[in-house]
């Protein structure tokens, strides 16, 4: 069931979004060679608590997962696409790190992700990260009342394909509000002018995940959560929570 949000609900979601954005910025700053994933996760836990919110991911247990999610952040390194669990792994120069964060305050969630380079990135990794960010921007730009879901999906897909990248099937964005995952789903592939008509008050997380090797698949590790590329190539992931308003798309996950 798709739930449209009022202006005051969107204002509350803006608060959740601000907390997510501030947390992502602090974690991105701390993500340097020698930092461990658990260290970044506890930094996020502290910051979200200090800002008066609760982490959305910790303890989340969807029916498809074998166990509750054990971290505050999803930290996905190199060939990990999404849902990487924070371990004691230490980051190294040249790693590609996706940082995904959700926070909950006053009954509403915010959800966003960035991908950053640890130290310096090689040109191919930079192109992957920048193209994924561009795919997100194209999706956001299409999120307007009267457009259709397929317009968002097609915008994301066009940027990804032009770069030669893969889009893992079955992974995509989602509605968001009082629950982190609500209807509708927001696929990263689709056809223009198809799918549900977007209406004012719809709030969605748009989240392109691009595979460097160009394959459209992924597999889940035995930890039950981490999705990796099947060819071992790197992946990048960017996400924003976006409200569809009469004035167009409004990104809620900004500082
Ligand atoms: N941004 C991710 C998503 O929307 C975050 C979910 S992580 C989970 O799927 F651990 F909470 F599932
Ligand atoms: Co999400």
Asked, for residue 1, whether it belongs to a domain, the answer is no
pLDDT computed for residue 215 by the predictor:
98
What is the span of the domain harbouring residue 35? 7-251
Asked, for residue 132, whether it belongs to a domain, the answer is yes
pLDDT band with cut points at 50, 70 and 90 for residue 24: very high
Question: What CATH number has the domain bearing residue 137?
Answer: 3.90.230.10
Ligand 2 is an ion; its neighbours by CB within 5 Å are: 111, 205
Asked, for residue 186, whether it belongs to a domain, the answer is yes
Q: Looking at ligand 1, which residue's alpha carbon is closest to its atom 6?
A: 57
**SS3 state of residue 51:** coil
CA of residue 85 to ligand 1 center, whole Å: 11
Asked, for residue 123, whether it belongs to a domain, the answer is yes
Asked, for residue 130, whether it belongs to a domain, the answer is yes
CA of residue 172 to ligand 1 center, whole Å: 10
Question: Domain tally for the chain?
Answer: 1
Asked, for residue 83, whether it belongs to a domain, the answer is yes
Asked, for residue 2, whether it belongs to a domain, the answer is no
Atom of ligand 1 nearest to the CA of 62: 12
* Per-residue CA distances from 132 to 80, 126, 166, 210 (Å): 15, 10, 11, 6
pLDDT computed for residue 81 by the predictor:
98
pLDDT computed for residue 65 by the predictor:
96
Q: Rounded to two decimals, what is the model's pTM? A: 0.98
pLDDT computed for residue 140 by the predictor:
99
pLDDT band with cut points at 50, 70 and 90 for residue 88: very high
pLDDT computed for residue 21 by the predictor:
99
Query: pLDDT tens digits for 205-216?
Result: 999 999 999 999
């Amino acid at each position: 069931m798709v739930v449209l949000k009022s202006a005051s609900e969107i204002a509350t979601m803006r608060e959740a979004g601000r907390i997510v954005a501030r947390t992502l910025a602090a974690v991105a700053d701390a993500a340097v060679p020698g930092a461990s994933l658990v260290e970044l996760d506890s930094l996020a836990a502290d910051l979200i608590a200090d800002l008066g919110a609760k982490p959305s991911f910790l303890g989340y247990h969807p029916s498809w997962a074998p166990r509750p999610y054990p971290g505050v952040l999803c930290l996905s390194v190199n060939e990990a696409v999404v849902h990487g669990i924070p371990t004691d792994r230490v980051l190294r120069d040249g790693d590609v790190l996706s940082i995904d964060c959700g926070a909950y305050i006053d009954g509403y969630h915010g959800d966003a992700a960035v991908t950053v380079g640890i130290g310096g990135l090689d040109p191919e990794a930079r192109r992957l990260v920048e193209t994924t960010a561009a795919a997100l921007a194209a999706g956001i730009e299409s999120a307007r009342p009267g457009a259709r879901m397929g317009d968002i999906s097609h915008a994301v897909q066009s940027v990804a394909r032009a770069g030669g990248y893969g889009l893992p099937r079955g992974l995509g964005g989602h509605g968001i509000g009082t629950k982190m995952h609500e209807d509708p789903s927001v696929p990263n592939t689709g056809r223009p002018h198809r799918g549900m008509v977007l209406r004012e008050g719809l709030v969605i997380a748009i989240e392109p995940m691009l595979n460097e090797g160009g394959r459209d698949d992924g597999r889940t590790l035995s930890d039950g959560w981490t999705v990796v590329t099947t060819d071992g190539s790197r992946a990048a992931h960017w996400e924003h929570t976006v409200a569809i308003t009469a004035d167009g798309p409004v990104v809620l996950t900004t500082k």
